[in-house]
Amino acid sequence: MIRRLSHSRPDGSTTRVGVTRRSPFMGMEEVLRQWWWMSHLALTTLLMHQRLCGKP
């Protein structure tokens, strides 16, 4: 798939090439992105639900 951007680690997880393993912020970008997407989807679903129910 995206073998150029990521490589498999011995434990099975994948890390992006170029990010140092010593960096304390490794994985923070993914966590923040997932959290943002989850909150965005939740908010969108809530707005759609309210709109479908006819509530202001």
Percent over 90 (pLDDT), the chain: 27
**Sequence-ordered list of residues with C-beta below 8 angstroms from that of 3, at least 6 positions apart, any chain:** none
Bigger pLDDT: 26 vs 8: 26
Q: How confident is the model at residue 53 (pLDDT cuts 50, 70, 90)?
A: confident
Q: How wide is the angle at C-alpha 7 spanned by C-alphas 4 and 10, nearest 5°?
A: 165
Strands 6-8 and 14-16, by their bridges, are antiparallel
Give me the mean pLDDT over the 21-49 stretch.
84
pLDDT value of position 2: 46
Bigger pLDDT: 30 vs 41: 41
- pTM (2 d.p.): 0.41
